[in-house]
Copies of this chain bind each other. A is one copy, B any other.
Amino acid sequence: MYKKEIKVMDCTVRDGGLMNKWQFSDEFVRAVYKGCVEAGIDYMEIGYKSSERAFSRDEVGPWKFCDDRDIRRIVGDNNTNLKLSAMADIGRIDTEDIPPKSESVIDMIRVACYVHQIDKAIFLAEHCMDKGYETTINLMAVSKVNEPELDQALNDLSQSKVPTVYVVDSFGSMYCESVEYLVKKYLKALPGKKVGIHAHNNMQLAMSNTVTSLIHGATMLDATLLGMGRGAGNCPIEVLIAFLKNPKYRLLPLLDVIQNQVKPWQDKIDWGYHVPYLITGALNEHPRSAMKWMDSEKKDDFVAFMKEMHDYELLE
C-alpha cells in the first residue's frame, strides 16, 4: 500500500499515558523518541498540552503538560526529521498557555473536541496556527453524533483554516463500513483538507479500520507501540509499518523499543483486547466502565459485566 502522502503518527506516550497518568520515565520517552526517529516515523505525539492550573503534577506525569523544558530534556532541539505533536483538550488549556512556535520544540498541536465544541476547537486551532504550529482537529465520539450535527460541524470545519480533520473511533465501536462512510464523508465535506484516522481496538478492528481509512483516502494514520493506549488500545504501529512496506519506514527500531520498554508495561497495566472492552465497544459506549471493571477484582467476570452494562443501557 504505497502512497507517498501517508504520514504515520506514534501516540504511545499520549494515548498510553491515559492508562498510567503519564507516569513514564524519561528513559521510556527517550526510547520511544529514538525508536520513532530511527524508524522514520513522521510524527510523535509526546503528550497533552494542558494548563498547569487544570491538573496537579502530584497526580499526573509531565506528559500531561508538555512543558517545553520537559520535552527538551528528552529531545534537545530535536534536530531530526521526526515532528513532535501535543494534543490539546478543549477547556483544559488557555491560549496564553501556548507559547509562540519560535519558543517551542513542538511542531503540531492537535485539538481534540466533541461535536458541540467545534467552534471552540476551531478558535483554538486557528490560534495555534497563528502562533506558527501545524494543527489538526480530532472530532471525538462521532459514533454517537446525529448526522445533522456532524454535517454542521463539518461545514464549520470546511470554512476554517484547519488543514486536517481526524475520524476518531473513541469507543472502538466502528466497523469497516462505518469507517469507509465517515472517511468518504469527511473528504467530500472538506475539500482541500486532509483526513486522519485514530482507531481503538475493542473489536480487534483497529488495524483493519486504519487500513480501510487509508484505502478510502485518509493519509494521517495514528498508531502506538504494541497498541498501547486507553482501554483496548490503538492500531499497533509495528503491524501498520509491516503492512505499509514503505521504504521510508523501518520496523526493527520499533521492535527494539517494544521489547525493552513497552512490553514490560503490559505486566502492569491491561491495555489491549479484553472482553470488557469488547462489550463497551459493541454497545457503542465510552470505555470508562470497562476500565473501572478491569481495575477491580471482578475483572475476569465477563458475564457479570455484560449483565451490568445491559442494565446500565436500559437505565439511560
Contacts and interface: CB of A to CB of B under 8 A. Distances in A.
Interface of A: 175-176, 201, 203-209, 211-212, 215, 226, 236, 238-239, 242-243, 251-252, 255-256, 258-259, 263, 273, 275, 278-279, 282, 300-303, 306-307
Contacts of A282: 242-243
Contact of A302 (B259, B303, B306): B259
Given A242-B278, A242-B282, A263 B204 contact: no
Contacts of A307: 252
Interface centre among A204, A207, A209, A258 (most CB of B within 10 A): A204
A211 to B, nearest CB: 7
A238 B275 contact: yes
Contacts of A243: 175, 203, 282
A218 to B, nearest CB: 15
Contact of A236 (B204, B303, B306): B204
A206 B203 contact: no
A164 to B, nearest CB: 25
Query: 4 shortest A-B CB distances, which residue pairs?
Result: A208-B208, A242-B282, A255-B302, A204-B207
A303 B207 contact: no
Contact of A251 (B175, B207, B259, B306): B306
Interface centre among A252, A300, A303 (most CB of B within 10 A): A303
A307 B251 CA distance: 11
A211 B300 contact: no
Nearest to A212: B176
B204 A239 contact: yes
Nearest to A251: B306
A175 B211 contact: yes
Contacts of A278: 238-239, 242
B258 A275 contact: yes
B176 A208 contact: yes
B303 A256 contact: yes
Contacts of A208: 176, 204-205, 207-209
Contacts of A256: 302-303
Contacts of A236: 204, 273
Contacts of A258: 275, 302
Given A203-B239, A243-B203, A243-B282, A300 B263 contact: yes
Nearest to A201: B204
Given A203-B243, A204-B239, A205-B207, 13 more contacts: A203-B239, A204-B206, A226-B275, A239-B278, A242-B278, A242-B282, A243-B282, A252-B307, A255-B275, A256-B303, A258-B275, A263-B300, A273-B273
A306 B163 CA distance: 38
A43 to B, nearest CB: 22
Contact of A300 (B252, B259, B273): B259
Contacts of A226: 275
A15 to B, nearest CB: 17
A240 to B, nearest CB: 9
